[in-house]
C-alpha cells in the first residue's frame, strides 16, 4: 500500500510502498481518508519526542479520520506501529476509535482533533475546570492556543486572557473569544507586572501553558504573594507544551507563598482511551460551538514537500 515513510530521523518522510497491516485481537482496520501533520507528529518523526519510536523505517501519524470495514466513519488515534496514520490502511485498537458527526467533514475533523483535544483534556481531566472560572492561555497564537480560547469559551469560562509574542494577532484572538490580550514581547519586569494585574487583580483560576521557558517563569513570578495571613487563591497551572524552551528558572518562594498547583497534560498523564473520548466530545461541539481551525488539505504523495513548508495552516494529508 501507499504511505509516507520515515527512512531517517533527520530527513522528511518519503512517499512509497509498505506492507499493509493485519488486525490483531481487539483491533480494527481503518481505511484512512485524512491525517493531520501536527507538532506531535513532526517531533515523533524526528525522534525527538518522548513517545518516538527508535526503529526505522516507519510510517508517521498519530491520528486521522477514515472508514472502518463496516463503512462507519471514525476518528482514530495511535494506530499500531510501525504503520502510523499517514498510510492507506491502519490497524487500531477498537477502543481508540470514535464516531465523527455527519456535519463535520474529514479535513476539519482531522485538523481540529489534536490541537482541540490538548486544551479540552487539560481543562477537564487535569485542571478540573468548572463553568465560570477564569482562564489564562499562555501562547495563544498557534492552532492549539486559538482552539484553547474557543474551547474555554464553549465550556463556560467567564474570562479568558490570551498571551502571544506577536502583537499583530491581538484582534484575531479577541475575535475568537479572548477578553484581553497580553503581548509577551516586552521586558520580563513589565510582562510580570501586567500578568500580576490579571492574576492577582481580576483573578485567574487556570493557566494553560503552551510555552514554558521565560513566559511561564514570568507567570509564576507574578503569583508571588505578600504573606498577608490569608490563604492565597488556588491556581492550577497546566503545562501542555514547551515551545519557548525546555527549562524554567523557578523561585521556590512561589510554592511557599501561593496557591499554585502545577501539573501537565499529554500522552501518559491521561489514558489514551480517555483522550479519544475527549476528541469525541470535541467533534460533537464543532458545529454548535462554531469551533474553527485553519486547515490546508494536501495529497499524501506531496508529503516530502509539505513537511518542509512553513505554513500557519494545519496541513492535512488526504489519503
pLDDT in tens, 241-276: 999 999 998 888 888 888 999 999 988 899 999 999
pLDDT for position 230: 74
Element (H, E) at 282: helix 272-285
pLDDT for position 227: 56
In terms of C-beta density within 10 A (0-12 exposed, 13-18 middle, 19 or more buried), how is residue 184 classed?
Answer: buried
Dump the DSSP string for 7-69.
Answer: S-TTS--EEEE-PPP---TTEEEEEEEEEE--HHHHHHHTT-STT----SSBB--SEEEEEET
pLDDT cut 70: percent of the chain above it: 97
Nearest Cα neighbor of 96 from 296, 319, 271 is 271
Q: How confident is the model at residue 103 (pLDDT cuts 50, 70, 90)?
A: very high
pLDDT over threshold 80, residue 51:
no
DSSP code of residue 79: P
The ranges of the chain annotated as CATH 3.90.180.10 are 2-103+287-318, 114-264
CATH number for the region 114-264 comes to: 3.90.180.10
3-state helix, strand, coil in the chain (%, to 5): 35, 25, 40
CATH superfamily of domain region 2-103+287-318: Medium-chain alcohol dehydrogenases, catalytic domain (3.90.180.10)
Q: Give 219 or 55, the one with higher predicted confidence.
A: 219
Question: What is this structure's pTM?
Answer: 0.92
Residues β-bridged to residue 136: 161, 207
pLDDT for position 52: 62
**Residues 6 or more apart in contact with residue 70 via CB below 8 angstroms:** none
Model pLDDT for residues 5-23, shown as the tens digit of each residue:
999 988 999 999 999 999 9
Chain Cα centroid distance, residue 153: 16
- Calculate the alpha carbon distances from 193 to 20, 184, 198, 199 in Å: 56, 12, 9, 10
Amino acid at each position: 500500500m501507499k504511505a509516507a515513510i520515515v527512512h531517517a530521523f533527520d530527513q522528511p518522510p518519503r512517499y512509497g510502498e509498505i506492507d499493509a497491516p493485519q488486525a490483531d485481537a481487539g483491533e480494527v482496520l481503518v481505511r484512512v481518508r485524512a491525517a493531520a501533520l501536527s507538532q506531535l507528529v513532526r517531533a515523533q518523526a524526528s525522534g525527538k519526542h518522548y513517545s518516538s519510536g527508535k526503529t526505522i523505517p516507519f510510517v508517521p501519524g498519530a491520528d486521522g479520520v477514515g472508514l472502518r470495514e463496516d463503512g462507519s466513519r471514525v476518528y482514530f488515534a495511535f494506530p499500531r506501529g510501525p504503520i502510523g496514520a499517514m498510510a492507506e490502511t491502519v490497524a487500531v485498537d477498537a477502543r481508540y476509535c470514535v464516531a465523527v458527526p455527519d456535519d463535520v467533514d474529514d479535513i476539519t475533523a482531522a485538523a481540529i482533533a489534536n490541537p482541540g483535544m490538548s486544551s479540552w483534556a487539560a481543562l477537564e481531566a487535569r485542571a478540573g475546570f468548572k463553568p465560570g472560572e477564569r482562564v489564562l492561555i499562555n501562547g495563544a497564537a498557534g492552532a492549539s492556543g486559538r482552539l484553547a480560547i474557543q474551547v474555554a469559551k464553549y465550556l463556560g469560562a467567564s474570562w479568558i486572557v490570551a498571551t502571544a509574542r506577536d502583537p499583530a494577532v491581538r484582534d484575531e484572538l479577541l475575535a475568537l473569544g479572548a477578553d484581553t490580550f497580553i503581548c509577551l514581547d516586552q521586558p520580563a519586569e513589565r510582562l510580570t507586572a501586567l500578568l500580576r494585574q490579571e492574576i492577582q487583580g481580576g483573578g485567574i483560576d487556570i493557566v494553560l501553558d503552551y510555552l514554558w521557558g521565560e513566559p511561564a517563569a514570568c507567570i509564576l513570578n507574578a503569583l508571588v504573594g505578600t504573606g498577608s495571613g490569608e490563604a492565597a487563591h488556588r491556581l492550577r497551572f497546566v503545562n501542555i507544551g514547551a515551545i519557548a524552551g525546555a527549562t524554567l528558572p523557578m523561585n521556590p518562594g512561589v510554592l511557599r507563598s501561593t496557591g499554585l498547583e502545577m501539573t501537565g497534560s499529554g500522552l501518559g498523564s491521561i489514558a489514551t482511551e480517555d483522550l479519544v473520548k475527549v476528541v469525541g466530545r470535541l467533534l460533537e461541539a464543532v458545529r454548535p460551538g462554531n469551533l474553527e481551525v485553519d486547515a490546508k488539505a494536501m495529497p499524501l504523495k506531496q508529503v516530502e514537500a509539505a513537511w518542509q513548508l512553513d505554513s500557519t495552516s494545519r496541513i492535512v494529508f488526504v489519503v
